[in-house]
Amino acid sequence: MSLEKILAEHGQGHLIPLLGKEGGAKLREELSAVDWETVEAWKHPDDLSGKGRISPIEGLRLSEIGKNRTKYEARGLELLRGGKVAAVLLAGGQGTRLGSDAPKGMYDIGVTRPVYLFERLIENLREVTERAGVFVPLLIMTSGENDGATRAFLREHGYFGYPERYIRFFRQEMAPCVDLEGRLLLGEDGALALSPNGNGGWYSSMKRAGADGDFPAVEWYNVFGVDNVLQRIADPVFLGATALSGCACGAKVVCKSRPEEKVGVLCREDGKPSVIEYYEISPEQAAERDEKGELKYLYGVILNYLFRADMLERIAGEHIPVHVVKKKIPHLGKEGLPAEENGYKFETLILDMVRLAGSCLPFEVIREREFAPVKNKTGADSVETARALLEKNGVKI
Ligand code: UTP
């Protein structure tokens, strides 16, 4: 079928006249690669995730972890020393809320000296690798937008002391954006407006790029976000506890501070471990308490997961839902970021992999020690709150 016909069928007739104009050949090429199933998802943004019946899940609490710490840690160190673990840093996001054009990991959170987010993460990882006496492969996911800047920055800073031979980069894919009527948007350069396709595709992107191919096969991937400056990476206690639990996945969680806190909640969905977004649980359900007075839906995820390699292989071909997110999208004819949300981006989310995994260990951590996300400039989860938590943990900023 001709591209013109395909465009007309998918309600994209506004692009047909552009195909014959300057830049038309490039546009034609881009449009031929569009995944129409994803783009059509804008029509039903609310019911896409198709949530089932929600119920609470049992987790491994701090007291229990304390009692078994030695055993868990020994198993975790054994896995690290046996070369069974790789770390995966998700750094393909746009960090729009933070309002910086540079890759988020380059953000300097220091006050009296430069302290970059990337630096904090690598220093945290180095604490573990020094203790274990081995390095782990560090696989860094970037996007088409920030790949060059990320590589250059880390190279310039000597990878903050992590040996370059243990580091590999890979790019995630980009997805087209549409306006509020589902018409594909063009970027300021006249090409399709694209945005990173979410963090849910990290495994397929990593495999496609062959990023881990230079290292011996591992049993566990520890996947984590770029913006938690207290993130504990390749934590031997978490590794040991998850491996000994027999679960195919582990998730670090903090106890929610209040029912309405905006974090993804680890619970069960139709009996299976699953993470639901804060807006997918009703206020009444979020406020439910058990006989001890604790929230029933207690566990907030902090984007630090362990995934067993054999499970990832097994679920590799399975469908992962596409989330349609209303955002401000820069586009042709309008300079900079629009004042109002003007369209939709399409993203798959890593939290949906928990459900596919089939089993998951919620592993409680102390919020003040391990959770200081930098999402916003001020207010909740911001540069300000993260600075205060860094100081509380004795990090000189
Ligand atoms: P967030 O959902 O906080 O998004 O990402 P973000 O892009 O960093 O920030 P906003 O929403 O635009 O303000 C959580 C983690 O997932 C990564 C981010 O880099 C961060 O580590 N991520 C997100 C990707 O790697 N790729 C994506 O497409 C989206």
pTM of the model: 0.94
Mutate to test the pocket of ligand 1, among 142, 195, 206, 227 (most ligand atoms within 8 A of CB): 227
Mutate to test the pocket of ligand 1, among 120, 199, 262 (most ligand atoms within 8 A of CB): 199
**Does the beta carbon of 105 lie inside 6 Å of ligand 1?**
no
Among residues 297, 305, 314, 302, the alpha carbon closest in space to that of 361 is found at: 305
d(CA 261, CA 276): 13
Mutate to test the pocket of ligand 1, among 205, 226, 229, 302 (most ligand atoms within 8 A of CB): 226
Q: Which two tokens stand for residue 13?
A: 């007739």
Distance 196 CA to ligand 1 centre (A): 9
Please name the residues in contact with 4: beta carbons below 8 A apart, sequence gap of 6 or more. Answer: 16, 19
d(CA 86, CA 354): 18
Distance 63 CA to ligand 1 centre (A): 32
d(CA 397, CA 110): 5
Q: Which two tokens stand for residue 241?
A: 């506890």
Q: Which atom in ligand 1 lies closest to the alpha carbon of residue 196?
A: 28
46-392: CATH architecture: Alpha-Beta Complex (3.90)
| 3-state secondary structure labels for all residues of 94-114 | CCHHHCCCCCHHHCECCCCCC
**Residues 272-315: tens digit of each pLDDT:** 999 998 888 889 999 999 999 999 999 999 999 999 999 999 99
pLDDT truncated to tens, each residue of the chain (397 aa)?
899 999 999 999 999 999 988 888 889 998 998 888 888 877 765 444 557 889 999 999 999 999 999 999 999 999 999 999 999 999 999 888 898 889 999 999 999 999 999 999 999 999 999 999 999 999 999 999 999 999 999 999 999 999 999 999 999 999 999 999 999 999 888 889 999 999 999 999 999 999 999 999 999 999 999 999 999 999 999 999 999 999 999 999 999 989 999 899 999 999 999 999 888 888 999 999 999 999 999 999 999 999 999 999 999 988 888 888 888 888 887 777 788 899 999 999 999 999 999 999 999 999 999 999 999 999 999 999 999 999 999 999 9
d(CA 276, CA 266): 7
**Does the beta carbon of 264 lie inside 6 Å of ligand 1?**
no
> Considering only CA atoms, which residue is closest to atom 14 of ligand 1?
225
Q: Please report, for residues 305, 307, 324, the alpha-carbon distance to residue 220 in angstroms, rounded to integers and kept in the order given.
A: 10, 6, 30
Helix, strand, coil shares, percent, the chain, to 5: 35, 20, 40
**Does the beta carbon of 103 lie inside 6 Å of ligand 1?**
no
Q: Which atom in ligand 1 lies closest to the alpha carbon of residue 227?
A: 21
Please name the residues in contact with 227: beta carbons below 8 A apart, sequence gap of 6 or more. Answer: 95, 98, 104, 117, 373, 374, 375
Greatest distance between any 2 Cα atoms in the chain = 70
Among residues 114, 124, 59, the alpha carbon closest in space to that of 89 is found at: 124
Among residues 89, 170, 87, the alpha carbon closest in space to that of 134 is found at: 87
d(CA 62, CA 69): 10
Domain map (residue ranges) of the chain: 46-392
Helix (H) or strand (E) holding 357: helix 352-357
Tell the residue number behind the tokens 């078994």, with chain if given: 68
**Does the beta carbon of 348 lie inside 6 Å of ligand 1?**
no
Tell the residue number behind the tokens 């027999």, with chain if given: 246
d(CA 86, CA 345): 30
Mutate to test the pocket of ligand 1, among 88, 90, 323 (most ligand atoms within 8 A of CB): 90
Distance 143 CA to ligand 1 centre (A): 10
**Residues 250-261: tens digit of each pLDDT:** 999 999 989 999
Distance 203 CA to ligand 1 centre (A): 16
Q: Which two tokens stand for residue 34?
A: 């569009």
Q: Which atom in ligand 1 lies closest to the alpha carbon of residue 197?
A: 28
Please name the residues in contact with 67: beta carbons below 8 A apart, sequence gap of 6 or more. Answer: none
**Does the beta carbon of 240 lie inside 6 Å of ligand 1?**
no
Q: What is the pLDDT at residue 22?
A: 84
